Amino acid sequence: MTHKYRHIKFLGIIFLVALGLALAYFGFQKVHAPSPTSSTTPQKTNPAKPVFDKTRYSISDPNSLWVVVNKQRPLNPKTYAPTDLVVPNAPLRVPGNDSMQLRAETASAMETMFAAAKAAGDPLMVSSGYRSYNYQVSLYGSYVAAHGQASADTFSARPGYSEHQTGLAVDVEPLDKQCDVDQCFANTPAGEWITAHAYEYGFFIRYPADKVAVTGFEYEPWHLRYVGKELALEMHTTHTETLEEFFGLPAAPNY
Ligand SMILES: [Zn+2]
């Protein structure tokens, strides 16, 4: 063996030793790397899933998409009026009436939802949207006159306590007016579509059948509240039906 060949053999040995060390190192890393399916890494501690921030928007500011209005939480001020009301581009029960208006973002989301409902064969229209403080004074007053205050309080909010005054709530009904503003709306094709799909557009049914003791209002499958897609999806995913429960607020069965 010449000097030249001994040199090549020496380099070969160095190379093989280095290769062996490298394979041993990476093999060790692989064995000790946490497995995605390992029982030591449960889903709830997975940093990839962000925690929903419930404090992101105010629940007291009447301009906030997340404002919570109920019999214990009047609007502040009680005479609040939104500044971005628009008339939705949608079928309206009372065209030209102020109560057909909604806040701009709510109107836009509702138009998208109505288009999807129509495409599914369940066309809808706006039954009632924004109601001013003064409108609610006359509406609630007429119900009290007709039914007495105790009865009126179960289905109509006192002025300053109405979600409709935020411009974020809308009563919907089928275009054919089947079961309009009636609990049987829930069992119509349009009502079933709303129940299944409203959250996809940022809405939810504000007064569910089994939450009268929480919301203080009878079942209203037609009364939708807009909170944005993010919160609506989170409530849907966590099976939370009311804003009171979601935000850990006291139930509001009475004033
Ligand atoms: Zn309503």
Give residue limits of the domains in the chain: 3-41, 50-246
**Residue 46 to residue 33: CA distance in whole angstroms:** 15
Q: What is the mean pLDDT of residues 9-33?
A: 53
Main-chain phi, psi angles of 48, to 5 degrees: -70, -25
- 118-139 pLDDT tens trace: 999 999 999 999 999 999 999 9
Position 107 pLDDT exceeds 70: yes
Cα 147 to ligand 1 centroid, rounded to whole Å:
18
**Residue 127 to residue 89: CA distance in whole angstroms:** 14
Per-residue confidence (pLDDT) for residue 39, from 0 to 100: 46
- 137-191 pLDDT tens trace: 999 999 999 999 999 999 999 999 999 999 999 999 999 999 999 999 999 999 9
**Residue 204 to residue 221: CA distance in whole angstroms:** 9
Position 22 pLDDT exceeds 50: yes
Cα 223 to ligand 1 centroid, rounded to whole Å:
4
Catalytic residue among 163, 173, 220, 241: 220
**Residue 108 to residue 193: CA distance in whole angstroms:** 19
Identify whether the C-beta of residue 227 lies closer than 8 Å to the C-beta of residue 204.
yes
What is the rounded average pLDDT for all residues in the chain? 89
Cα 131 to ligand 1 centroid, rounded to whole Å:
10
**Residue 227 to residue 50: CA distance in whole angstroms:** 20
* Beta strands 220-226 and 102-103, pairing class: unpaired
Per-residue confidence (pLDDT) for residue 33, from 0 to 100: 46
**Can you tell me which residue has the tokens 């054919």?**
176
Position 249 pLDDT exceeds 80: yes
Q: Please indicate whether residue 220 is annotated as part of the active site.
A: yes
Per-residue confidence (pLDDT) for residue 116, from 0 to 100: 98
Cα 57 to ligand 1 centroid, rounded to whole Å:
23
- 62-79 pLDDT tens trace: 999 999 999 999 999 999
Position 13 pLDDT exceeds 70: no
Cα 38 to ligand 1 centroid, rounded to whole Å:
49
Cα 99 to ligand 1 centroid, rounded to whole Å:
11
Cα 58 to ligand 1 centroid, rounded to whole Å:
22
- 215-236 pLDDT tens trace: 999 999 999 999 999 999 999 9
User: Considering the chain, what percentage of its residues have pLDDT values greater than 90?
Assistant: 80
Position 204 pLDDT exceeds 90: yes
**Residue 83 to residue 62: CA distance in whole angstroms:** 11
**In CATH, what number does 50-246 get?**
3.30.1380.10
**Residue 34 to residue 220: CA distance in whole angstroms:** 50
Position 37 pLDDT exceeds 50: no
Identify whether the C-beta of residue 172 lies closer than 8 Å to the C-beta of residue 128.
no
Predicted model pTM = 0.80
